[in-house]
Amino acid sequence: MKDRMRSALKTSKADYTEIRIEQREATNVVFRGANLETAGAVVDTGGIVRCLCRNNGWGIATFNSLDDLPARVKQAYECARVAHSDEPIELAPIPVSEERITVSLARDFRGISLAEKKALAEGYNSIVRTFSDKIIDTNTVYQDSFTHLFFASSDGTFIEEERPMITVVAAAIARDGDNVQTAHETHSGQRGFEFVQDCEQLARTAAQRAVELLSAEAVAGGQYPVVIDPVLAGVFVHEAFGHLSESDFVYENPKAREMMVLGRRFGQDLLTVFEDGSIPGLRGTHRYDDEGTPTRRNDLIRDGILVGRLHSRETAAKMGEQPTGNARAINYRHPPIVRMTNTAIEAGTTSFEEMIKGIKLGIYACDAYGGQTALENFSFSSGYAYMIRDGQIAEMVKDVILAGNLFTTLMNIDAIGNDFQWIHHAGGCGKGGQAPLPVAFGAPHVRIQDVVIGGK
């Protein structure tokens, strides 16, 4: 493959050319309620060529048939020639790498029968189903995928990499009359089959929460002090702040650059936010990004001050900064764009008990259903939540949706927990039509003052 890719690259007339080829095999087992929705494996092979002509633009060709790579290079080159750029498009230099990255999995899921994978999912599914007669439906998923990836660029880099991913999801849907509630738990990593065994507790947790939510009252809307758990804190920092750190948002936009100017105060001294695609064992981790740039730790907010952002080679060159290893693509159908890897709020010093102690009336919001941001404005649904009354966790409430302005909300963070953890959730990030990209979050508990909670 290396020789074929390199000889195809030699035919390119573009200023820069890269080829990425992926061979993926994936297994998917899905139960819904008593029914097996699907159990089977698929084979996906394909590639992408990306060409840059400095005075024109980018051209891309994607394909399934690997028969004629030079023809694909020519297609991409012709696409790149269509555009015209007044200012030449530059790429920041990166070291030339040549590496073969293999993984060794404790129990390699490629050698495990579909029967065993199905039995695992079936076991978790029956825990959820039989938890209570109020559980009317489930969605239990087992997924694995093993990608063999080849990357070669005209700079001379060649990387061959094995990328495994394994995931279990247990979702419970409970119903009482017209009241329908859902809860889900996930566990995912670049690991072997052993990683998703013994996850019975996860299935029980999902089922129990869905049933509990049936008797929860909808939260009364208003402004509250809110304590968010590490999961929601991680999702929040990813969605509301992380996306603004992606330089493709600011690099061609002077107004956005002003908004995200380095040195601006984003939070109180206690707030530090970082991104790190190089930590072993996390979902967003790879040694190189999809442009061949080595990944590393990048501080985004240090002691409340904006100190960094995430780059591809192009955005780094444009802004006169260093590439950070954040150009990522979900698969061969897409070019790499600036993305997060593993995003985290650094641990603070406050214990959970201290954090809630002084709150007369507030909300403890946990887990995230999802979130959306439009730059400064965000909206997040928590999976479940509790009222805080007189410094104590009180009754469960539902439909807790946090909304607000990023800048005021970050400034309103006034306590950060000492209980930092990385979250091994299956959550994926979506951007530019590319979803889900595996990412990880990390955070401790975080307290925010004056959060607007939607509700009745």
Partner 1 sequence: MDILKQLQTQAEQVEVVQMRNEAASAEFEANRFKTSKVEETSGVAVRIVRNGRLGFSASSDEKATDRLLANVLESAAFGDEIPLVFPAPKPTPRVKTFDTAISGLPVTRLVEIGQEIVDLILAVEPEARVNVGLQRGIEQVTVRNQAGTEVSFQRSPLSIGTEISRIEGDDVLILFDLVGATTWEEDYLAFARRLAEKLQLARKITDLRTAKMPVLFAPAGTLALILPLMEGVDGKNVFTGVSPLVGKVGEKLFDNKITFVDDGTLDGRFGSAPFDDEGVPHRRNVLVERGVLKSFLYDLKTAAQSGVESTGNGSRRLFNPPQPAPTNLILEAGDTPVAEIIAGIEEGLLVEDLLGLGQGNIISGAFSNPISLAFEIKKGEIVGRVKNVSIAGNVYDLLKDVTAVSRETLWVYNALRLPYILLPEMNVVAKG
Of residues 109-168, those binding partner 1 (CB under 8 A): 114-115, 118, 136-137
Site for partner 1 in 324-383 (CB under 8 A): 333, 335, 369-381
Question: Considering the complex, what minimum distance in angstroms separates the CB of residue 193 from partner 1?
Answer: 17
CA torsion, ordered 203, 205, 207, 212, to nearest 10 deg: 180
Q: Which is nearer to partner 1, 43 or 106 (CB)?
A: 43
Which residue reads 């593993």 in tokens? 342
Where is 114: in which H helix or E strand?
A: helix 114-129
Closest CA to 32 of 161, 145, 129, 159: 129
Q: How far apart are alpha carbons 375 and 371 in whole angstroms? A: 12
3-state class of 241 per DSSP?
helix
Which tokens belong to 140? 């239990």
3-state class of 348 per DSSP?
coil
Q: Which of 7, 11, 55, 85 binds partner 1 (CB under 8 A)?
A: 85
Q: What is the contact mask toward partner 1 in residues 5 to 24, using x (rule: CB under 8 A)?
A: ------------------x-
Residue 257 — φ and ψ, nearest 5°? -65, -40
Q: Which of 41, 214, 279, 394 binds partner 1 (CB under 8 A)?
A: 41
Question: Considering the complex, what minimum distance in angstroms separates the CB of residue 76 from partner 1?
Answer: 8
Q: Which of 253, 261, 357, 392 binds partner 1 (CB under 8 A)?
A: 253
Cβ-Cβ contacts under 8 Å for 33 (sequence gap 6 or more): 129, 136, 137, 138
Question: Considering the complex, what minimum distance in angstroms separates the CB of residue 42 from partner 1?
Answer: 5
Question: Considering the complex, what minimum distance in angstroms separates the CB of residue 352 from partner 1?
Answer: 26
Q: Which is nearer to partner 1, 235 or 416 (CB)?
A: 235
274: which DSSP letter? Answer: E
Question: Considering the complex, what minimum distance in angstroms separates the CB of residue 19 from partner 1?
Answer: 15
Q: Which is nearer to partner 1, 116 or 200 (CB)?
A: 116
Site for partner 1 in 263-322 (CB under 8 A): none
CA atoms in the 13 A half-sphere facing the CB of 58: 14
Beta bridge partners of 222: 453
Q: Which of 5, 14, 17, 62 binds partner 1 (CB under 8 A)?
A: 62
Q: Which of 7, 38, 130, 215 binds partner 1 (CB under 8 A)?
A: 38
Q: Which of 173, 202, 206, 359 binds partner 1 (CB under 8 A)?
A: 173
Q: Determine, following the binding rule CB under 8 A, whether residue 449 of this chain makes contact with partner 1.
A: no
Which tokens belong to 72? 């694909």
Peptide linkage before 438 cis (omega within 30 of 0): no
Q: Which is nearer to partner 1, 214 or 347 (CB)?
A: 214
Residue 196 — φ and ψ, nearest 5°? -105, 5
Q: Which is nearer to partner 1, 82 or 96 (CB)?
A: 82
Q: Which of 3, 43, 102, 111 binds partner 1 (CB under 8 A)?
A: 43
